[in-house]
Amino acid sequence: MALLLTEADVRALLTMPVALEAVEAAFRRLADGVAAVHPRHRLHLEGFSYLHYMAAADGTGGYEGLKIYTSSREGLRFMIPLFRAKTGELLAILEGDYLGQMRTGAATGLATKLLAREDARVVGIIGTGLQAKTQLESIVTVREIKRVRAFGRNAERRERFAREMTDKLRVPVDAVGSAEAAVRDAEILVTVTTAVTPVVESRWVQPGTHINAVGANFPQKRELDFETVMRAGPIFVDSCEQAKMEAGDLIQSFRQAPSCWDGVKELAQLVAGRAAGRNSRDQITLFKSSGIAIEDIVTAGRVYELALERKLGKQVSFWEADGARERTAS
């Protein structure tokens, strides 16, 4: 028997503090060598949807699994099969849309906690879709934010986003009419868009800003212009291997100077104290988020444990015992 957890179940169980704790644990376990991760791969035939898949194992939690999802013009569909690492037993299948939003937001919150100035109070965000909501929620959880400026291309959507997030977070969120207005004076900046060309210009970014670049997870896409990336230091990613495959902001900026990759560090190193973070007020720090499977698996494991405690979900049967017949892998 395995536990089926729907989107409604996950929403009932997963809070931002839980997600932040799980994601920080995921990176600490990577640093300690007790977790392993495979980068995202994408399968695509012209004229069909994309199939995306990524895998991880968590030795401390005792879980392993995948995140599998499809994307097309009709939308995205996410699923996480969660297995017991020692036996290979299927423990749960989780619908993974909300979980993905929360773990992506939590990674930004963790990077912000470790890299943004302690006195950072003003957030600028470009992008007002679903992912943007958990980005702000995580930042407000780790910093005492006083004001947010939000820009998205659709005026009606950004106004609605501002109202909803003001009510949810109890922090003033103002919809602004341009990307520049969101960036100017921001001490923490988030870009969470599907942009192909930069939405941030370096001349707008003040010294001391911490940037979380969350969109642009294809090599041909970017949110930050060349000058912004080159001004940043230190630069952290969740996985150097995956960043070199799909972090368009860095791939395109470093094309003429591949040695720049040598200065990019992984968030796990920062969590474990093996890489230096901010060392001055005026540094521009950058976290280029791609999203890696260990974030999903550790978070899914925690959601599974909470579901058992609270008796949520539905038990479903797979591979029911049929005597002592020996099974072999093929």
Residues identified as active-site:
67
Q: Which amino acid is at 21?
A: E
Two tokens at 119?
């006195």
Of all helices (H) and strands (E), which one includes residue 219?
none
Q: Enumerate residues 6+ apart whose C-beta is below 8 A from 112.
A: 138, 139, 142, 143, 188, 210, 212, 287
Q: Which helix (H) or strand (E) holds 214?
A: none
Interatomic CA distance for residues 186 and 206, integer angstroms: 8
Contact in structure between 24 and 103 (CB atoms under 8 Å): no
Q: Which of 158, 113, 156 lies closest to 132 in space, CA to CA?
A: 158
Whether residue 232 contacts residue 253, with contact meaning beta carbons closer than 8 Å, is answered with no
Q: Say how many residues make up the chain.
A: 330
Q: Is 123 helix (H, G, I), strand (E, B) or coil?
A: strand
* Spatial separation of the C-alpha atoms in residues 229 and 249, rounded to whole Å: 8
